[in-house]
């Protein structure tokens, strides 16, 4: 099937999201976020997220169908995030997708959340889907991926050994008494700060670290350094702290990603995930990729955070590649890595 009509459901965390694509063309992308319900806790509460998915699911599916101007009977295949993520949240999505698949007798694909983020890159029909290094940066994940084929061959080269980049942003935002989620708040504050004001550490970048953790990340030491600086410097300029912290994160992310591209002979870099919306990461990536002769591929801002379009995009690629569907009855996996691209 060259241009399957696919409906994708994403419920791995706090967004109830449904996307519809035809081939590589995005027709609809509806998101209902429960972030405001979690804000007073300073982070996502799994039980609240699961209940929010249950309440929003039917409405979000209905809105997506209306926006795409199609009916459920028109859908050729359903895709759903099967892992990783919050297990209760995942079960809401997989249950909804399984019900639709059974009722309409249409194939069902349980796909990987991490790989789905990278698959957003496919939603530009002009984009050549050549092999690339993927830099996935979000609230729960920070990984460098070797993407030979989005639908069948994605290899993890490195990942965070403690906090993910987005998690570090949230924690530093709390120290700076900023709003949740922390990423956008720090990005806004940093724009009025001096990124060279404070020399915060770059984790796992020393020679002895690179021997064992060449493409891995660690942000816990950076978080501790910022905390200590704030305690020892009561007169600290918050904008300078935000900008310097952000610069340390961006520097490490791009240095390691571009090093991987050079080492593996790849000429493209895909940056995806919620932190891919960060303005400093995008501008610095543009500058460094131009110097390195690397083609930079970044999704539109609206497709960086969790969304249904990315699930539908990956599912569509799998359908076009002739992959066998998962079938109803597969088990969601909250802790799965990229060793599973497709659940069966």
Q: What is the pLDDT of residues 34-87, one digit of tens each?
A: 877 877 777 789 899 999 999 999 999 999 999 999 999 999 999 999 999 999
261 and 318 belong to one structural domain: no
194 and 247 belong to one structural domain: yes
Closest CA to 252 of 137, 154, 114, 146: 137
Question: Lowest mean pLDDT: which of 124-138, 190-204, 244-258?
Answer: 124-138
Contacts of the segment 319-324: beta carbons below 8 A, 24+ positions apart? 319/1, 319/4, 319/6, 319/76, 319/77, 319/107, 319/109, 320/1, 320/2, 320/4, 320/23, 320/151, 321/149, 321/151, 321/152, 323/109, 323/151, 323/152
pLDDT band of 338, cuts 50, 70, 90 = confident
State residue 124's pLDDT score: 87
State residue 39's pLDDT score: 74
Contact 334, 85 (CB under 8 A): yes
255 and 273 belong to one structural domain: yes
C-alpha span between 71 and 80 (Å, rounded) = 18
157 and 274 belong to one structural domain: yes
Mean pLDDT confidence for 261-268: 97
290 and 336 belong to one structural domain: no
User: Across the chain, what does the average pLDDT equal?
Assistant: 95
Mean pLDDT confidence for 125-134: 90
141 and 75 belong to one structural domain: no
Mean pLDDT confidence for 130-143: 93
Range of the domain at 94: 5-122+304-343
State residue 34's pLDDT score: 87
CATH number at residue 208: 3.30.420.40
42 and 178 belong to one structural domain: no
In the numeric block, which tokens belong to residue 25? Answer: 């063309």
pLDDT band of 285, cuts 50, 70, 90 = very high
How many domains is the chain built from? Answer: 2
254 and 322 belong to one structural domain: no
149 and 250 belong to one structural domain: yes
Mean pLDDT confidence for 206-210: 92
105 and 165 belong to one structural domain: no
292 and 148 belong to one structural domain: yes
pLDDT band of 276, cuts 50, 70, 90 = very high
State residue 88's pLDDT score: 97
Closest CA to 306 of 280, 281, 283, 276: 276
State residue 76's pLDDT score: 98
Q: At what angle do helices 87-104 and 46-68 cross, to 10 degrees?
A: 30
16 and 140 belong to one structural domain: no
pLDDT band of 140, cuts 50, 70, 90 = confident
C-alpha span between 106 and 92 (Å, rounded) = 19
């Amino acid at each position: 099937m060259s241009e399957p009509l696919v409906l994708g459901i994403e419920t791995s965390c706090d967004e109830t999201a449904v996307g519809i694509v035809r081939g590589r063309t995005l027709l609809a992308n509806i998101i209902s976020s429960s972030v405001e319900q979690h804000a007073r806790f300073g982070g996502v509460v799994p039980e609240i997220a699961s209940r929010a998915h249950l309440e929003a699911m039917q409405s979000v599916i209905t809105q997506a169908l209306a926006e795409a101007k199609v009916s459920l009977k028109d859908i050729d295949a359903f895709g759903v995030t099967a892992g990783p993520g919050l297990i209760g949240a995942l079960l809401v999505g997989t249950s909804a997708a399984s019900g639709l698949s059974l009722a309409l007798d249409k194939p069902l694909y349980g796909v990987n959340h991490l790989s789905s983020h990278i698959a957003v890159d496919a939603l530009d029909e002009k984009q050549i889907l050549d092999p690339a290094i993927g830099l996935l940066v979000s609230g729960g994940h920070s990984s460098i991926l070797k993407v030979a084929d989005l639908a069948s061959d994605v290899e993890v080269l490195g990942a965070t050994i403690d906090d993910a980049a987005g998690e570090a942003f949230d924690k530093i935002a709390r120290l700076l008494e900023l709003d949740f989620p922390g990423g956008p708040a720090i990005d806004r504050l940093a724009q009025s700060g001096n990124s060279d004001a404070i020399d915060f550490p770059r984790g796992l970048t020393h020679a002895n670290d690179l021997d064992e953790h060449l493409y891995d990340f660690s942000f816990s030491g950076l978080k501790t350094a910022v905390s200590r600086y704030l305690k020892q410097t009561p007169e600290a300029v918050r904008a300078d702290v935000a900008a310097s912290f952000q610069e340390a994160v961006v520097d490490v992310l791009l240095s390691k990603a571009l090093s991987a591209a050079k080492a593996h002979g790849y000429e493209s870099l895909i940056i995806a995930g919620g932190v891919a919306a960060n303005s400093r990461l995008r501008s610095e990536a543009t500058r460094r990729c131009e110097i390195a002769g690397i083609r930079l591929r970044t999704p539109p801002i609206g497709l960086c955070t969790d969304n249904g379009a990315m699930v539908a995009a990956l599912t569509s690629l799998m359908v076009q590649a002739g992959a066998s569907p998962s079938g109803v009855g597969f088990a969601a996996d909250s802790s799965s890595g990229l060793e599973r691209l497709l659940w069966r």
